[in-house]
Structures are given as C-alpha cells and as structure tokens.
Amino acid sequence: MNPVPDIFRILPEVILTLTGVAVMLIDASLPPGTARRPLGWVAAIGTTLALWASLWQFSLPEGMGFYNTVETSAFTVFFHVLICGIVLVALLLSLDTLPEDSHHQGEYYALVTFGAVGMCLLTGAVELLVVFIALEISSISTYILAGYRKETGKGPEAAIKYFLLGSFATAFLLYGVAMVFGATGTTQIYEIARLVPLAQNHSLILLSLGLMLVGILFKVSAAPFHVWTPDVYEGAPSPVVALMSTAPKAAAFALLLRVIYEMFPTLRSVWSPLLWVVAVLSMTVGNLAALRQQNVKRMMAYSSIAHAGYLLAAFAGLGSTGISAACFYTAAYAAMNVGIFAVITLASGYDEEFPLIEDFRGLVYRSPMVGGLLLFFLVSLVGIPFTGGFFGKFYSFSAAVGGGAIWLAIIGLLNSGLAAAYYLRLALAAASRPDNQKSAAPTPQVGIAVGAALLLAVAATLVLGIVPGATLHAAEQSAHTLQAPQAETAAPATAAAPVDPHPLP
C-alpha cells in the first residue's frame, strides 16, 4: 500500500496559503486607484477550493504526516470543513459590506485567508510546537483584523487590548507546553498521552494542564478569561467579529478537545471539576452581563461567552458523547452566530452609526427580509426547537446529564431562559413599530455576496435543526478518532450506568 504523500495531509492549508500569497501579490501589483473588491472573490474561490480539499481528505486513510506532526482524521476533516465554511461566509459578507474606498482591502482578504491557515492547522496538529505556531498564525491575523478600522478610536484600542491579553494567554500555553515537555521529554501529543500515566513528576503535569487550559480558555473567551471579548467585539468591524467570534473559537475548541481527551484523558478527575466551574461561570457571567448591555455587539459578545459555557457543559459527558456533543455545538453555534453578525453588519452599517438596541427598532418594518432573518437567528440562539441552536444545547446538556452532571444541565437551561430575555429584547425592538420622527437608520441593502452568505448561514442553521443526523454522525465519527483507547477505561464512572433499555414486562 502506497503511503500517502505528506503534502496531502495539509492540502487545505497549502491551498489557503497560496491564495493568501496570490491576493497579496495581486494587491501589490495593481495600480493604486483600482478597486480591490475582486480580490475578495479570489480569496472566496481559494477558500471554496480549500473546503473541497478538506472534504476530499476524508477519503484519505487516517494517519499522520511530516514526522508525526499533523494528522488527518474524521476529527480534523470535521473542523476543517467547519472553519473553511465560516471563512467563506465571512468573506462573502465582507465583499458587500467593506467600504469601496478602503485602501487596505487586499491586506484584509489576505489576512483572513492566512488566519484560516492557522486555524485549520491548529485542528490538524498533533505536535505541541506546531500547535503553538498555528495558534500564533491565526491569532496574529485576528489581532490585526480587530484593529482594521484604524481611523476610529475604538479600533486600535480593541486591537491592542486583544494583542496584549492574547499574547499573555499564548505565553501561558507555551509555558504549559514547556512543562509537559519537561515531564515527558516529548511534544508529540500521542506520545505524551502514552507517557503521562507513567510519568514520575506528576505535579509538573498538573501544572502544565492548568497552564494550557488558561491559554485555551482565553481563546474561547470562557469566564474568568473573558474580559477582552466585549471591548474587542465592539471595536472590530462587524464582518470581522462574525469571523473571530466563530472560526478561531471553533479551532480553539478543537484544540481543547484534543488536549483534554487525547493528551490528558487520564486526568479526568482533575479537569472535569475545573471545566464544570468554568462552564457555570461562563454561562452565568455572560448572560447576566448581557442583560445590561445597550450596544448590540457588546450584548452579542457576552452572549458568545455564555455559549462557550453551554459548550463546555458537553465536556461533562462521558467518552465520545461529550466530544460529539461539543463538535455539534461548535457547528451549530458557528452557523447561527455568523448569521446574526451578518445581519448586524447589514443593519448597523460598516461604520456603526447605529449600534444600539434602540437603533434596531422597526427593523422588521424597514426591511422585512433582514428583520425576519434577525428574528430567525435570535430564535435559534434562544434554542427553540427545529433550529440548530436547539439541538446544540440539547446534545450538550444531554451529554452532561448522561455524565451525571444534572446540576450543570439545570443551571445551563435556566441560564438559557435568562438569555432569552436579552435576545428577546433585541427581537422585540426589531419587531415593534418604528418612530416616525426618528427614522435615521437606513434600510439595509442586500447584495449578491451577502445574500449568498446569509443563505448559507440560514441553510446550515435549519439543516442542523431539522435533520441533525448527518452532522451528528460526522461528529460521532470524529469523536471516535479522537478518543484514545485508554480513555474509555480510564474515565471514572461518575454516573450510574444506563440500565438495559428493554427489560420490560
């Protein structure tokens, strides 16, 4: 049997890199006055190719390449497809909403594609140094993108805040890598997993776990590492927020799953209570703070913190149910969050002269389509059945209940009731009659690219809500590839094993 050429293992990343370089080169060679918008189409086409390449990777035999540093498996394909999909939608969204006269459009599209390279690589890497490099690639692109509106005061503020805190968190992660290297003498994840139970210096490993968790939880903006989120989301342009609130988080969750379930499955008794606390904190802090926000983007920032909490609830699940629930939730969250930020971009404009909830008043009347979509995505975020948001929560909390964490599920679902209050505040503002005196906010215009982006997001949200079977199947497959063999046996039985379902009279 022929071994798979190494290059195929990173084909999507290669395509994305080439796209990014091409965009930059074309940008540089174009005369200054010409429109940069076609570059966005180049990036979108490249991303579509990468998406296709990720799907194609599914037909590869599972395995690792480049001296066991990257792997392709159902797990990596799942996240590659997800991330490429998000990036594609974000690019389409930017195409119609970035102002025509912006000189830096070329850089923008190149940075988005480079960021996508980092995120994709992050989900495929099984070597901690590659993980670190990938994380840096994705983070640095996002830092720059966050400050893209540098003429405003808030843009650079957001970028600097994000950069300083983010580098700090990455340092934590790197320090954790160093610790685990010190304890086991390797940075290859499978090797570490094999050596951890045998390692002499247990405290070093615990320290490493803690440090790495801090680094990753910062990236997914879970409480208490969430303080950067609202400021950055408020300062960054909305299309960028659509991207950075979903894709890097999906990648970071993939990394978290890998670290937790593949590297340290034997330390379940340590990370399980930690993540329990973080999940409860994130949901509660996120939702309580969101209740008080007047700015829509800040509100959605806190909402994304709460959603990180719901997702972390899945980690209480035993074995593969937890992993597949987390994968599914990531997909559902990404679909609806990209969608709602697309709507926010359209409604409040690129320059965000109308960022408050009050400014959304009468949106349904001004533009029935955009208003209707806003309601649709809000309904999904609330978690009403037959939308992706419902099944995301459903799987996450049923994993928690299955793992014996009943209280986590109860707190989570009560939180989702709390969350309904602020989602509804926005929904009701959009659905109530506009004031005739104050109709300053413009009617949103929906172009072809944005229309396609919205269509993709709506379709994904509906498919995940009505026929979640296929995605769940993919998530389960990826869960199986991720689960190291010893994990099943090592996981302590915290819940009573389910009784035989067919003993009936």
Contacts to another protein by CB under 8 A: 364, 368, 375, 379, 382, 384-386, 390, 394, 397-398, 401-402, 406, 409-410, 413-414, 416-418, 420-421, 424-425, 427-429, 431-432, 468-469, 472-473, 476, 495, 498-499, 501, 503-505
**Complex with another protein: residue 210 or 372, whichever CB lies closer:** 372
Q: Whose Cβ is closer to another protein: residue 84's or residue 405's? A: 405
Please state whether 140 falls in left (phi above 0), alpha (psi between -120 and 50) or beta.
alpha
Select 263 or 399, whichever has its Cβ closest to another protein: 399
CB 186 within 8 A of CB 194: no
Instruction: Decide if 15 contacts 121 (C-beta within 8 A).
Output: no
Residue 151: both structure tokens together? 């003429």
How close are the terminal C-alpha atoms of the chain, in Å?
Answer: 53
Q: How far is CA 312 from CA 130, 164, 275, 284, 403, in A?
A: 25, 25, 7, 13, 13
Nearer to another protein, 61 or 505 (CB): 505
Pairing mode of beta strands 63-65, 70-72: antiparallel
Residue closer to another protein by CB (options 115, 402) is 402
Handedness of CA 329, 330, 333, 339 (dihedral sign): negative
Query: 72 forms bridges with which residues in the sheet?
Result: 63
Q: How far is the CB of 245 from another protein (least distance, A)?
A: 24
- Token reading at 429: 């503002």
The residue among 150 and 473 lying less far from another protein, judged by its C-beta, is 473
CB closer to another protein out of 55 and 369: 369
User: In the bound complex, what is the minimum distance in angstroms from residue 415's beta carbon to another protein?
Assistant: 8
CB-wise, 485 or 503, nearer to another protein? Answer: 503
Neighbours of 273 (CB within 10 A): 11
- Tokens in use for 230? 């609202």
Measuring CA to CA, how many Å separate 372 from each of 39, 212, 334, 354, 452? Answer: 31, 42, 19, 19, 16
The least distance separating another protein from the CB of residue 233, rounded to whole angstroms, comes to 25
Comparing C-alpha atoms, which of 244, 254, 217 is closest to residue 142?
244
Least spacing, CB of residue 98 vs another protein, in Å: 32
Distance CA 291, CA 33 (A): 46
Q: How far is the CB of 339 from another protein (least distance, A)?
A: 17
* CB 196 within 8 Å of CB 270: no
424 token code pair: 């509804």
The DSSP code for 403 is T
Least distance from another protein to the Cβ atom of residue 283, Å:
12
Q: With respect to another protein, which residue has the nearer C-beta, 440 or 497?
A: 497
**Cβ–Cβ under 8 Å, residues 121 and 98:** no
